[in-house]
Amino acid sequence: MNSPETLFQQRVDAEIKIEARDWMPDEYRKTLIRQISQHAHSEIVGMLPEGNWITRAPNLRRKLILISKVQDEAGHGLYLYSAAETLGITRDQLFDQLHTGKAKYSSIFNYPTLTWADIGAIGWLVDGAAIMNQVMLCRTSYGPYARAMVKICKEESFHQRQGYESLLALSKGSAAQQKMLQEAVNRWWWPSIMMFGPSDSESTNSEKSMLWKIKRQSNDDLRQRFVDATIDQARILGVTLPDDKLKWNEERGHYDFGEIDWTEFWNVVKGNGPCNKQRLEARVKAWNEGEWVREAAMAHAEKRKKKAA
């Protein structure tokens, strides 16, 4: 008689989605809660650097687009928190892990948005990198996560296009706007390729995540795909990517690129990035100031439940 572990792996290998009520190894559940919660936290924290520019958008059209994007990210967070809850963790536990610094979120959101061009660079590079990773996650073995990704990816492509289009406008603008554009690309290029995580040899979770088809491609493969897809877009923007090692390698059929500064990456992941402290403070403040809204919503729900009983 096959063990539950063997039956589970056979389901995964047969590309049958694992659902919330199915038996799953504790380790599988744990790593999914870890990854999905970090993903959800990233969406919520990611609203902060962009939200910072809503009142300063250069015109009404850009303001409307940015408001809609930031609102989408809140929805992505909601989707992902709901997917995490199907694994047996509560919303309060998730938020407590974020607010106490126990849970990670993507390193990229610990960098400041210094000019309007940073907002375009986030759309083009950060959402561009996120799409590479999230399209892969549409095929992840855990059903609720895979289904959440389908809707998220549809909105993500709008995020990437709006960012690129806003940079294209700057690239056709004044010398000052072109300078602002280049400086933003200089700031966001390397942190964007760090988003894919440590190199495969340093990744502590990849082996299991690949066996269980949580991850379908490795960190380095996705990173390479992102670099290869972005070079031509940079050329059209007329920007220089801040890596003099970037060069097409005919033999590999990919672009070679320079060494990532892993000290910077781990520094930011460990909480010592330019904005880590500010981001967490903002999230805790929003949580505390939003208590009355949660209480009112719960009271209303309670009242409706009593009325319906």
Per CB under 6 A, which region of 33-41, 92-100, 244-252, 293-301 contacts ligand 3HC?
33-41
Burial of 104 (0-12, 13-18, 19+ CB in 10 A): middle
Least distance to ligand 3HC from the beta carbon of 173, Å? 25
Quick one: which of 204, 245, 252, 291 contacts ligand 3HC (CB under 6 A)?
A: 204
Window 263-292: contact mask with ligand 3HC (x via CB under 6 A): ------x-----------------------
Residue 295's Cβ-side half-sphere holds a number of Cα atoms within 13 Å equal to 6
Give the integer Cα–Cα distance in Å for 189 and 103: 25
Quick one: tokens of 40?
């959800």
Determine if 203 is a binding residue for ligand 3HC (CB under 6 A).
yes
Burial of 34 (0-12, 13-18, 19+ CB in 10 A): middle
Per CB under 6 A, which region of 126-134, 168-176, 180-188, 290-298 contacts ligand 3HC?
126-134
Which residue, 133 or 177, is less far from ligand 3HC as judged by CB? 133
Q: What is the DSSP letter of 271?
A: I
Per CB under 6 A, which region of 2-10, 17-25, 173-181, 204-212 contacts ligand 3HC?
204-212
Quick one: which of 120, 144, 163, 198 contacts ligand 3HC (CB under 6 A)?
A: 198
| Residue 196 near residue 129, CB atoms below 8 Å | yes
DSSP calls for 121-180: HIIIIIIHHHHHHHHHHTT-SBHHHHHHHHHHHHHHHHHHHHHHHHHHHHHTS-HHHHHH
Quick one: which of 9, 38, 93, 186 contacts ligand 3HC (CB under 6 A)?
A: 38
Determine if 39 is a binding residue for ligand 3HC (CB under 6 A).
yes
Quick one: which of 113, 182, 209, 217 contacts ligand 3HC (CB under 6 A)?
A: 209
Is the Cα dihedral 107, 109, 112, 117 positive or negative?
positive
Which residue, 141 or 206, is less far from ligand 3HC as judged by CB? 206
What are the backbone dihedrals phi and psi of residue 248, each rounded to the nearest 5 degrees, phi first? -65, 130
| Residue 220 near residue 254, CB atoms below 8 Å | no
Determine if 43 is a binding residue for ligand 3HC (CB under 6 A).
yes
What are the backbone dihedrals phi and psi of residue 186, each rounded to the nearest 5 degrees, phi first? -60, -35
Is the Cα dihedral 51, 49, 138, 190 positive or negative?
positive
Determine if 98 is a binding residue for ligand 3HC (CB under 6 A).
no
Determine if 174 is a binding residue for ligand 3HC (CB under 6 A).
no
Burial of 125 (0-12, 13-18, 19+ CB in 10 A): buried
Per CB under 6 A, which region of 102-110, 226-234, 288-296, 300-308 contacts ligand 3HC?
102-110
How many residues bind ligand 3HC (CB under 6 A)? The answer is 29
Which residue, 130 or 241, is less far from ligand 3HC as judged by CB? 130
Which residue, 115 or 219, is less far from ligand 3HC as judged by CB? 219
Which residue, 158 or 287, is less far from ligand 3HC as judged by CB? 158
Which residues make up the interface to ligand 3HC (CB under 6 A)? 34-35, 38-39, 42-43, 46, 73, 76, 104, 106-107, 126-127, 130, 133, 156, 195-198, 203-206, 209, 215, 219, 269
